[in-house]
Amino acid sequence: GENVEQHPSTLSVQEGDSAVIKCTYSDSASNYFPWYKQELGKRPQLIIDIRSNVGEKKDQRIAVTLNKTAKHFSLHITETQPEDSAVYFCAASMGGGGNKLTFGTGTQLKVEL
């Protein structure tokens, strides 16, 4: 089955700096890669996703890149703000509803003033 590794497990940045979180996956059949943000005591919320036919996707301060050959994908957050502090999970699946979404182990991001 799919295995998703995520690094780092914790990340502390100063407000305004950039943050990068990296994931690798094992199953070359995976073609859908979402990122979830989970604040303490709240539900995971999708912040951005990318499919294997796209190398990069951007939404305001958030971007995701995918290297299908190397089976790597990364989340980039620019101009970080205190409200970006949360746990971020990457995930991978074969796409389509009803399929298993395998999550990475999570990154605790802390944005310091």
Partner 1 sequence: DTEVTQTPKHLVMGMTNKKSLKCEQHMGHRAMYWYKQKAKKPPELMFVYSYEKLSINESVPSRFSPECPNSSLLNLHLHALQPEDSALYLCASSQQDRGAEKLFFGSGTQLSVL
Beta-strand pair 107-112/10-14: parallel
Residue placing its CB nearer to partner 1 in the complex, 27 or 78? 27
Closer residue to partner 1 in complex, CB, 46/58: 46
Rounded CA gap, 96 and 83, in Å? 31
Nearer to partner 1, 44 or 80 (CB): 44
Report the nearest approach of partner 1 to the CB of residue 101 (Å). 7
Residue 65 in tokens: 């890149």
| CB of residue 89 to partner 1, shortest distance in Å | 5
Contact positions toward partner 1, by CB under 8 A?
32, 34, 42-46, 49, 51, 87, 89, 93, 95-106, 108
For residue 50, give both structure tokens: 């990318």
Q: CB of residue 111 vs partner 1: minimum separation in angstroms?
A: 19
**Could you tell me if 79 and 16 are in contact, meaning their C-beta atoms sit under 8 angstroms apart?**
yes
Neighbours of 102 (CB within 10 A): 18
3-state secondary structure 77-95: ECCCCHHHCEEEEEEEECC
Compare residues 52 and 78 and give the one whose CB is closer to partner 1.
52
Task: For the CB of residue 106, give the shortest distance to partner 1 in the complex, in Å.
Answer: 5
